[in-house]
Amino acid sequence: MIKLIINADDFGYSRIFNAETIKLLKEGKLKSTTVMVNRIDYKQNSQIEELKSLRKNDISIGIHFEMDENGNVKRQIEEQYSLFLKVFGFPPSHFDIHMPKYRLMEKPAAEIINFGNEKGIAVRNLGINKIGKHTSEKAFFATNHSIAEIYDYIDRMEEGKSYEIIVHPGRFDPESKSSLNKEREEDVEKVNLVDEKIKCYPEIKLISYLNL
């Protein structure tokens, strides 16, 4: 068996983005998402409740940590973890990281990996994971790749290994400042095409972090 997680990043960034993620989760084309807890506001309350209700379907709901490079990394991790518990009422299934400057990601990522190990929570495989629970293979950032490249990645998956494909689904939100705003509709189409692609591979099982 080949285990595949398709994770929707950025839940909480925008109600328009949230709506598309929820739709894909309900359709079974995604089984995992990560939440930007610092961006949640009261206008998203109904969507948060809807997302919480999907947990019974083995949907994994994690934290998409946002790190200020000038702030105390450990404090930011602990504050966002505590806020997640307050909003959702249960611990996150996994962690990943959002950084505006990816060259600065390694140090906070290492802190998140250590924190995940302390809590017994899985952390996205960023290629530096040495401890804790994670996929066997480094996560694949599908947003930056064509569908042909994504298909090639799937074709090369190997028996007995576990993988994660990262997507950023949504629809264009004129009020959002996300750098990926225009790409989100493309990612919805990528998720739909990947869903059809993996049907050709009975050995690939779409899972969530709860099943890792």
Task: Locate 156 and state its tokens.
Answer: 């090369």
Task: Supply 11's token pair.
Answer: 């839940």
Pairing of strands 60-66, 94-98: parallel
Give residue 84's pLDDT: 98
Residues 164-189, mean pLDDT to the nearest whole number: 87
| Domain locations in the chain as residue ranges | 2-211
Task: Report the candidate in 143, 193, 135 with the shortest Cα–Cα distance to residue 163.
Answer: 135
Q: What is the pLDDT of residue 105?
A: 74
| Beta carbons within 10 angstroms of residue 48's beta carbon | 18
What are the beta bridge partners of residue 5?
Answer: 164, 207
- How far is the C-alpha of 25 from the C-alpha of 163, rounded, in Å? 18
The closest alpha carbon to 61, from 95, 27, 26, 86, belongs to 95
Which single residue is written with the structure tokens 């950032």? Answer: 141
Task: Express each pLDDT in 124-154 by its tens digit.
Answer: 998 889 999 999 999 999 999 999 999 999 9
Query: In the prediction, which pLDDT does 33 show?
Result: 98
As a CATH number, domain 2-211 is 3.20.20.370
Of the pLDDT bands very low, low, confident and very high (cuts 50, 70, 90), residue 117 is very high
- For residue 104, name the pLDDT band (cuts at 50, 70, 90): low
pLDDT of residue 173: 76
Query: Can you give the pTM of this predicted structure?
Result: 0.94
Do 119 and 92 form a contact (C-beta atoms < 8 A)? no
Spatial CA neighbour of 154 closest among 126, 146, 96: 146
- Residue 68: predicted pLDDT: 84
Write the DSSP string, 6-61.
EEEEEETS-HHHHHHHHHHHHTTS--EEEE-GGG--GGGHHHHHHHHHGGGGT-EE
- When pLDDT is averaged across residues 64-79 and rounded to a whole number, the result is 92
